[in-house]
Amino acid sequence: MKLFLTIFSLILAISTVLTGLLVLTRRQFGRSDKGIEHIHPSIFTFFTSLYAFFLGFAIVTLWSAFLKAESNVGQEADSLLITYRLSQDLPQSGALRQALKDYAQSVVQQEWPSMEGDSMSEEAQRRFDKVWEQLQLLKPESKGNHELYVNLSNKLSEASRQRLSRALTIKGNLYPPIWVIIVFGFISVIYGLYFNHIQQNAVRIAFDFMVIFLVLSCIYFIYDINTPFSGYIVVKPEIFQKVYDLMLSMP
């Protein structure tokens, strides 16, 4: 909450400063008739509508990616827990279950903090490889436990796919050149506000502030949710912690 208040206080301050600069700039340079209505209101309205649609599209796309990343984490943790439970019916599988515990613990304690810096944990990867090694050692020679072994392999493969999904989304889901459009669009909005509100009054100044504050807030939201494992709005490791606690409570 403290970080949230700090960020939006900063956005509020920047919006106030930019609005004040618009007011001062108009008073200094905007009294000439040449500067009035250089941009037709209908053109500015079309541009801002297009920009608003683009920002909204980016927000919806990134929010969907965030929810997908959250769902994938849940599926990954669930696959590990199912693997742990199924392995109890496989002879001499204690080392496999211990490897699963070690991996789940590493994800919570090492990998999640590492993902805040946009990288996966090498230690967690080593422990996940250890899980695979322990499973391969349990490959049955007879057909008696073959089906169980296949089920364990499938669940561990599912966990591996979800782990790869985490690695792919860790550095962001927004195509980099789109940031050029977002930043250039914001500058264009400021430019349009300046020339459409040469004739100043309290209502227009308040409107300038509201537009700047809203657009900056949307840009910050896009920036923050672009990386689902770092920032203010993040996918948290609670589900892995719960799975690890359940593993500890089982033999």
Q: Could you tell me where the beta strands, DSSP code E, fall in 49-108?
A: none
Percent share of the chain, pLDDT over 90:
54
d(CA 84, CA 95): 11
Rg over CA atoms, the chain: 27
Model confidence at 134, pLDDT cuts 50, 70, 90, reads: very high
Sequence spans of domains, the chain:
76-173+232-251
Q: Is the pLDDT of residue 37 over 60?
A: no
Average pLDDT estimate for 220-225: 93
Q: Is the pLDDT of residue 242 over 70?
A: yes
Average pLDDT estimate for 18-35: 71
H helix count then E strand count, the chain: 9, 0
Which residue in 130, 132, 162, 161 sits closest to 239, CA to CA? 162
Tens of pLDDT, residues 200-217: 788 888 888 999 999 999
Q: Which long-range contacts (CB under 8 A, 24 or more apart) does 140-149 make?
A: 145/89, 145/90, 145/91, 148/86, 148/89, 148/90, 149/90
Percent share of the chain, pLDDT over 70:
93
d(CA 77, CA 239): 7
Lowest mean pLDDT among 42-51, 138-147, 225-234: 138-147
Tens of pLDDT, residues 148-204: 889 999 999 999 999 999 999 888 888 888 888 899 999 988 888 887 766 778 888
Q: Is the pLDDT of residue 32 over 70?
A: no
The amino acid at 69: A
d(CA 169, CA 66): 9
